[in-house]
C-alpha cells in the first residue's frame, strides 16, 4: 500500500523522514522506495534478517518454544498470562510444524 501511495502521489509526497525512519528502524526502507524498488526488492532481505534476529534473541527468551506453541493453541492464555503479542503468536504459528 505504501508503494502504491508513494507512486500515485508523485511530487505531492512528503516524508516525515525522522518519524518514518524511526518507525521502520532504519532509513533503508525509505531510501529504497525513493530509488524505485519494488515489493520483492524491499522484502528480499527480511527473512534472513528475521532469522538472524531470532538467533540473537534466544538467550533472552523467557519461555521456550513449546510453551509459546501451547500458548498459540490458547491465545487468550497467551495474551493474559505470558503477555504475548499477536505478532509473536503469528510467528510461532508459522513455525509450529517445524518443531
Q: What is the mean pLDDT of the chain?
A: 75
**Residue pLDDT, tens place only, 62-87:** 766 655 555 555 555 555 555 555 56
84 Cβ contact list (under 8 Å, min separation 6): 68, 71, 75, 78
pLDDT at 99: 41
Query: 532469522: which residue's cell?
Result: 51
- Give pLDDT tens digits for 37-57: 999 998 888 888 888 887 887
Average pLDDT of 1-22? 89
Asked if 11 contacts 38 with a C-beta cutoff of 8 angstroms, the reply is: no
- Model-level pTM? 0.54
Amino acid at each position: 500500500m505504501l508503494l502504491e501511495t508513494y507512486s500515485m502521489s508523485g511530487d505531492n509526497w512528503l516524508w516525515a523522514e525522522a518519524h518514518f525512519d524511526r518507525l521502520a528502524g532504519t532509513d533503508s526502507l525509505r531510501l529504497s522506495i525513493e530509488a524505485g524498488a519494488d515489493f520483492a526488492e524491499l522484502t528480499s532481505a527480511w527473512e534472513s534478517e528475521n532469522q538472524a534476529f531470532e538467533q540473537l534473541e534466544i538467550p533472552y527468551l523467557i519461555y521456550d518454544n513449546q510453551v509459546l506453541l501451547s500458548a498459540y493453541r490458547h491465545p487468550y492464555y497467551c495474551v493474559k498470562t505470558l503477555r504475548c503479542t499477536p505478532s509473536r503468536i503469528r510467528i510461532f504459528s508459522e513455525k509450529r510444524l517445524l518443531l
